[in-house]
Structure 1
Amino acid sequence: MKILIVLMALLPLMATAKPQELFWEDLAPKDFEAPEQQVDHGGENSMTQMSPNAPVVQELDGREVKIPGFVVPLEGDDDNLTEFLLVPYFGACIHVPPPPSNQIVYVKFENGVPIDSLYDAIWVHGVLETKQWSGDIATVGYRLKGIGVSSYE
């Protein structure tokens, strides 16, 4: 009976738990060193991804997290995006070669989410998975089931 009372007292605290705030360095194992990228603006391999199979942090699998970054749209319409890549800096995967796969997150929102400006950083909140995803643009080390977005301030 005492355990039931304690659990009932803790329930409101558990329901309001905040997602774990992560930053890009948290997504790479401590001993991971990405090779230096040489940008070749026009060569045959100018958009080749460095480290397409970079190691991920397995302990993050299944965690509810919040990550800041920039959006590279993949699927959606004029009002909402249903799929996008979250990257650590503006222009990644578009104007410069993609970062290592452990520095890109594939994000999916079942019903879509409005993104006001692709030029501004945002926070993305969701459940992180350590499952690889590959597309035409890059290979990605993480997937995120989106819950919400907010401005990065």
Structure 2
Amino acid sequence: MRRALFLLKFTTMMIGTVCPASGVFAGAQPVLWSALRPADQSRLDAALPGMASSRPQGETLAWRDEARTVELTGFILPVDQDGENVYEFMLVPWAGACSHSAAPPPNQLVHVVAAEPFHLSRVYEVVTVTGNLRPGLDKTQLFIMDGVRVLDYGYSMSQAQVAKATGFVDPDLKTVSPLGVLAR
């Protein structure tokens, strides 16, 4: 019995605990979008790939700590949904990415598979996803307003906890947006 209790406590400590109030893992490290790209890749490079710089940096993945449970806040772009329930989506750093503006570079796109369906109450909902962020370039197909689009992404998160964003906001969510870039 004592050994079982120890193993339960140890496992809980290692993978995090679910906080009933927020639905996210306690002890998860908040991560900014800037941590996913090289330090010398500016926000403008990320917002307008190929236009702001001649250096192709979008495939350079800066995050490598797969073992750490993290929280990342961004906007949902549904990949698989049934009505208002979203099962799989791309997490993007600004509203309208991919549908109203150029797709972010791969190091600014996260493919998320939710542990439970997320009820999407509005377009461009801001959410916080919690889980283990895995680097690795891949592709997914996405249906948007004007047809099908193939997106290259640099990170993925499976069995992610998804919750409406509250409190913590990444500075990139405010400044790296189609309108924010034009206002510079």
TM-score range, shorter chain: 0.7 to 0.9
Closer/same/farther in 2, CA of residues 11 and 61 from structure 1, 3 Å limit: closer
Q: Which residue of 1 aligns with 2:126?
A: 121
Q: Work out the CA distance in 2 between the residues paired with 1:28 and 1:35.
A: 8
Closer/same/farther in 2, CA of residues 31 and 67 from structure 1, 3 Å limit: same
What amino acid sits opposite 2:133 in the alignment? L
Task: Check if 1:69 corresponds to 2:78.
Answer: no
Sequence identity percentage? 27
CA positional deviation for 1:113 = 2.4
Q: 1:145 aligns with which of 151, 155, 158?
A: 158
Which whole-Å deviations, capped at 9, do the CAs of 1:2-30 have from their partners, x for residues lacking one?
A: xx9xx78x749825451111110011122
Q: Which residue of 2 aligns with 1:46?
A: none
Q: Work out the CA distance in 2 between the residues paired with 1:29 and 1:73.
A: 27
CA positional deviation for 1:96 = 0.2
TM-score (norm 2): 0.62
Q: Work out the CA distance in 2 between the residues paired with 1:35 and 1:149.
A: 24
- Count residues in correspondence: 138
CA contact under 8 A between 2:75 and 2:125: conserved in structure 1? yes
In structure 2, runs of 5+ residues without a counterpart are 18-25, 141-148, 167-184
Cα RMSD of the aligned pairs, angstroms, is 3.1
Which whole-Å deviations, capped at 9, do the CAs of 1:74-96 have from their partners, x for residues lacking one?
A: 11201421111000000001100
TM-score (norm 1): 0.73
Q: Which has the higher strand share?
A: 2
Show structure 1 runs of 4+ deviating over 4 A.
Answer: 50-53
In structure 1, runs of 5+ residues without a counterpart are 40-49
CA contact under 8 A between 2:77 and 2:124: conserved in structure 1? no
Closer/same/farther in 2, CA of residues 32 and 112 from structure 1, 3 Å limit: same
